[in-house]
Amino acid sequence: MNLRRVVTGMEQGGKSVFVSDEQVAPKTVRLMPGTEFHQMWGADEPVTLPSDGTQPAWKGYFPLVEGFRFGYFTLGPESVTLPEDLDFDAALAELAERLPGLADVAEPENPGMHTTDSVDFDVVISGEVWLELDDGAQVQLKPGDCVVQNGTRHAWHNKTDQPCTLAVAIVGARRTQ
């Protein structure tokens, strides 16, 4: 599913204008069937204003210390599994190309578990999801629920038969230990 992104900016004379109005296609990868990533906006350094609405430069799924990302994350049901004939090396290469840096935080021995150097603000838009932390503690989240994820080790689980979509704002943070 494509999502609409409307961007505003300011002209030289100070007038606010609509700069763009477009559909953003999701990024999908074979290694995560049923999952979609809509990368809507981001920056790897502080944004200065006024802005003409040009998208700032950024690379990598996660932001640098002074950067941010905003997007949507749709998690398919856990019943959606990897195809038996999946070429794992090719799927890893695809993940690295389409969502650079995402695999770098993953724990292969604990599928789904990861830790990021960021503060994440996650709001459930539709569906239900369970957030798991280090010791197996879990909390169920429903539409409207918000999580402030402070760089902790975690995993997302969709135990239902419907996709779950979250709006996600990720702010780069400096880890000291």
Among 81, 106, 87, smallest CA distance to 158 is for 81
pLDDT at 149: 96
| 138 domain residue, yes or no | yes
| 22 domain residue, yes or no | no
Number of domains in the chain: 1
| 140 domain residue, yes or no | yes
pLDDT at 71: 98
DSSP for 34-86, written as a single string: T-EEEEEEEESS---SS--SPPPP--SSS--TT-EEEEEEEE--TT----TT-
Q: What residue ranges of the chain have pLDDT lower than 50?
A: none
Model's pTM, two decimal places?
A: 0.92
Domain ranges, residue 150:
27-172
| 92 domain residue, yes or no | yes
| 10 domain residue, yes or no | no
Q: Please report, for the domain that includes residue 84, its CATH number.
A: 2.60.120.10
| 159 domain residue, yes or no | yes
| 109 domain residue, yes or no | yes
User: Tokens 């749709």 appear where?
Assistant: 74
Mean confidence (pLDDT) of the chain: 95
pLDDT at 17: 98
pLDDT at 141: 98
- In tens, the pLDDT along 120-132 reads 999 999 999 999 9
pLDDT at 26: 97
Q: Percent of the chain at pLDDT above 70? A: 100
| 71 domain residue, yes or no | yes
